[in-house]
Amino acid sequence: MLSMLSLEVVASIPSPSQGSWDLGPIPIRAYALFIVLGIIVAVWWGSRRYVNRGGAAGTIGDIAIWAVPFGIIGGRLYHVVSDWQLYFGDDGRGFVAALRIWDGGLGIWGAVAVGGLGAWIGARRAGVALPPVADAIAPGIAAAQAIGRWGNYFNQELFGAPTTLPWGLEIEVANRPVGYTEFATFHPTFLYESLWMIGVVLVLVWADRRFRMGHGRVFALYVLLYCVGRLWIEALRIDAANTILGLRLNIWTALIVGIGALVYLVWSARRYPGREEIAPRESSASVDS
């Protein structure tokens, strides 16, 4: 009995002992570091892909100045609105806690939607079309998600149901939800999603090269594949969430957004086959006029 218990403990994934470190008076938080690293990778890779498609160097960086802050704000808004009880319900954490992004909580749906608005503003100011930009940045966004999910690991949050599988994630008692304190290991949904998004990156790069996708279809494929993965990963999670007809809100969102992405893929391929040419970047004067 003791040997079996020891084997389970050795086989499980330990959680980190801390999620932040003090650099003098400045706290360095793992969650923020992984988010920033993901953004850097997305912008760098997106820039290379855009230039390879014929776009001007520096365009993606200019657009990112708008897209990134919009995305962070949108991601936080979605999280707070969809889980408003955590902050404004009975015994909620309060308004100040809703602003503490470093404690975790960025909803990808809000990040993509509002970040997309920021990207549209940035593209308009840069004088370029948005669909080629979206196609160029899509694999980088997927890679950023694969990186960013490791922030949840350091925060010991958003894990799945209890499991005795060898890769079960050890969670400290203080971080276990009510009703699960007697369980020691849980599904590492952060790892599942990170690995899934690495697979999405590979599919996007392959499909783009194989079919010369354009007109926003690489981005639509990214959205579709992410939604498929989010469906089964979300179903494993046990953190508090609002439900509709017995299903978590994020499952409904994944279903609706995924179907929308699939419809766009089919419609776009028929309406605009092939890949569009990227027009030369206009001057800022002509764009502002």
What residues have CB less than 8 Å from 174, skipping those under 6 apart?
none
pLDDT for the residue numbered 104:
67
DSSP 276: P
pLDDT for the residue numbered 56:
96
Confidence of residue 281 (pLDDT cuts 50, 70, 90): low
pLDDT of 122 over the 90 cut: yes
| CB of 39 closer than 8 Å to CB of 106 | no
Question: Among candidates 78, 126, 85, 137, which has minimal Cα distance to 105?
Answer: 78
pLDDT of 10 over the 90 cut: no
Better-predicted residue by pLDDT, 157 or 240? 157
pLDDT for the residue numbered 286:
37
pLDDT of 287 over the 60 cut: no
Measure the CA–CA gap between 180 and 71, rounded to whole angstroms. 33
Rounded to two decimals, the pTM is: 0.88
pLDDT for the residue numbered 3:
44
Condensed to tens digits (0 to 9), the pLDDT of residues 161-207 reads 999 999 999 999 999 999 999 999 999 999 999 999 999 999 999 99
Condensed to tens digits (0 to 9), the pLDDT of residues 77-119 reads 888 887 777 787 777 777 777 777 766 677 888 899 999 999 9
pLDDT for the residue numbered 30:
92
Q: Would strands 247-248 and 243-244 be described as parallel, antiparallel, or unpaired?
A: antiparallel
pLDDT for the residue numbered 250:
93
- Average pLDDT score over the chain: 89
Measure the CA–CA gap between 160 and 226, rounded to whole angstroms. 18
| CB of 259 closer than 8 Å to CB of 100 | no
pLDDT for the residue numbered 102:
67
pLDDT of 283 over the 50 cut: no
What residues have CB less than 8 Å from 187, skipping those under 6 apart?
159, 160, 161, 162, 163, 165, 168, 169, 236
The backbone torsions φ and ψ at residue 186, rounded to the nearest 5 degrees and listed phi first, read -135, 160
CA 273 to the chain's CA centroid? 29
pLDDT for the residue numbered 18:
85
What residues have CB less than 8 Å from 105, skipping those under 6 apart?
76, 79, 80, 83
Condensed to tens digits (0 to 9), the pLDDT of residues 20-72 reads 887 888 888 898 899 999 999 999 999 999 999 999 999 999 999 999 999 99
